Amino acid sequence: MALVKCKECGNEVSTTAKTCPKCGAKVGPKHYGCGALIVAFIVVVIMVKCISNVSDTTSSSSSSGNSESAARQYESQWHPEFHKGITQTLAENGIRGCGEYKYKASLKHDNEYVVYCTSDGKNWSAYLVWTSIKKVTGPHRTDPSFD
């Protein structure tokens, strides 16, 4: 049976005793050590969570607004074919230079498309097209990450 010194009064107390028989202070470094380990573990878990949260927010905020995240909101493949709703919306908004176009549908919103228009097959301009509300914004600068 091992003995430990009571932290309060210095009395030698059995490690199996939970309190010091002399002063009644809590003893048992094993209990204390275990509690400290649990606290340390919880702190580590919280820290890891915080760090991963922070890195999540930094990575998402740093990438938001740049071309890479914009490209991820749309299909990876271009549709070269004719799309009735896009053609109508472009025409109703008086968009010129869309004799030829290709488009990608938004993965997040229905009836939202990014449309690349060209009249000569070389110079492209980008438009955002909402076929449901017949809205077009652009021309925007073409985004290299879309190709």
CB of 33 to Zn ion, least distance (A): 18
The full 3-state SS of 28-78, as one line of letters, equals CHHHHHHHHHHHHHHHHHHHHHHHHHHHHHHHHHHHCCCHHHHHHCECCCC
Q: Which long-range contacts (CB under 8 A, 24 or more apart) does 104-113 make?
A: 104/74, 104/75, 104/76, 104/77, 104/78, 104/79, 104/146, 105/74, 105/75, 105/79, 106/73, 106/74, 107/72, 107/73, 107/74, 107/75, 108/73, 111/85, 113/83, 113/86
Among residues 6 and 95, whose Cβ is nearest to Zn ion?
Answer: 6
Contact positions vs Zn ion (CB under 5 A): 6, 8-9, 11, 20, 22-23, 25
Nearer Cβ to Zn ion, position 26 or 96?
A: 26
* Shortest spacing between CB 61 and Zn ion, in angstroms: 55
Nearer CB in complex with Zn ion: 9/44: 9
Residue 6 or 129: which CB sits closer to Zn ion? Answer: 6
CB of 37 to Zn ion, least distance (A): 24
**In the complex, what is the shortest distance from the CB of residue 18 to Zn ion, in angstroms, rounded to a whole number?**
12
By beta-carbon proximity to Zn ion, the closer residue of 19 and 119 is 19
Task: State in angstroms the smallest separation of the CB of 3 from Zn ion.
Answer: 12
